[in-house]
């Protein structure tokens, strides 16, 4: 599908690692001018490796848990490329895994800040630009963990991402803007170079995390984790003109687990 995004400008958030990075690389390979956004400086190393036929990707460091960071990132993309056609909101991810009664209040708030607000702010920052140019596509990355164990705050945040997707699609459609989402299941990825949190620290925390893994695999009809390429393929499809009659939908990409 080389050239599917030729002439388009795509902003991918959470692009330093994982699904976000793989999506950015795929959209770039398919012809997009790509702006990679992340709060980790690693994003500049990743963007610096994307060069093809005179095209270069552009990295932006921004903290998308705050509106100012999202606004700065979208403004920089518009000023650099003249507009935005696609926004992929990939910031998020479980920080801790434990039964809800073991979460202290500060961890609950941190989970919601990490996995809800970056999408909320990035949609708000990008939408005026998309409306002004008469169209575009927002792809939010949610999760099937809205029905999952040991991640209630994260599940709540991703439920919010689903609500953003369906509600904003109604408002944005008259302006030619599509809003869609994928809901990934468990996904194999290399070890994170910038961790989200401290990770499991003792036998109990490791056991709680293993319960998440077991439930994730058990809920998948295919009984396995997905790959980064499988997640990126679904996101790229929804972002492309091939999905021009799809909006307001959340597509599970989880081996049959619908969340």
CA-to-CA separations, 53 to 7, 24, 28, 44, 130, in angstroms, rounded: 13, 17, 11, 19, 27
The four Cα atoms 204, 210, 215, 220 give a dihedral, to 10 degrees, of 170
- Give the three-class secondary structure for 125: helix
Q: Is there a catalytic annotation at residue 154?
A: yes
Torsion over CA: 253, 26, 192, 43 (sign)? negative
35 has which bridge partners? 11, 58
Residue 53 token pair: 């036929």
Q: How far is CA 33 from the centre of its chain?
A: 18
Catalytic residue among 154, 209, 225, 245: 154
Catalytic residue set:
154
């Amino acid at each position: 599908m080389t050239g599917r995004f030729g002439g388009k400008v795509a902003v991918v958030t959470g692009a330093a690692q994982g699904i976000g990075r793989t999506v950015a690389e795929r959209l770039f390979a398919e012809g997009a001018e790509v702006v990679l956004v992340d709060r980790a400086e690693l994003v500049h190393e990743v963007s610096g490796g994307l060069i093809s036929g005179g095209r270069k990707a552009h990295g932006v460091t921004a903290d998308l848990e705050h509106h100012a960071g999202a606004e700065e990132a979208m403004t920089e993309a518009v000023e650099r490329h003249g507009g935005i056609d696609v926004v992929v909101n990939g910031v998020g991810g479980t920080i801790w895994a434990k039964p809800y009664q073991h979460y202290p209040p500060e961890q609950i708030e941190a989970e919601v800040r990490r996995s809800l607000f970056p999408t909320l702010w990035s949609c708000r920052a990008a939408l005026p630009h998309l409306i002004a140019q008469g169209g575009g596509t927002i792809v939010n990355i949610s999760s099937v963990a809205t029905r999952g164990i040991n991640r209630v705050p994260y599940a709540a945040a991703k439920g919010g991402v689903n609500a953003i997707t369906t509600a904003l699609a109604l408002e944005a459609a008259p302006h030619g803007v599509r809003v869609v989402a994928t809901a990934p299941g468990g996904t194999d990825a290399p070890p994170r170079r910038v961790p989200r949190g401290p990770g499991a620290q003792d036998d109990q925390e490791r056991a709680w995390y293993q319960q998440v893994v077991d439930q994730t695999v058990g809920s998948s009809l295919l009984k396995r984790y997905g790959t980064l390429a499988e997640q990126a393929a679904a996101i790229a499809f929804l972002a492309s003109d091939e999905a021009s009659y799809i909006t307001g939908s959340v597509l599970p990409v989880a081996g049959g687990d619908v969340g």
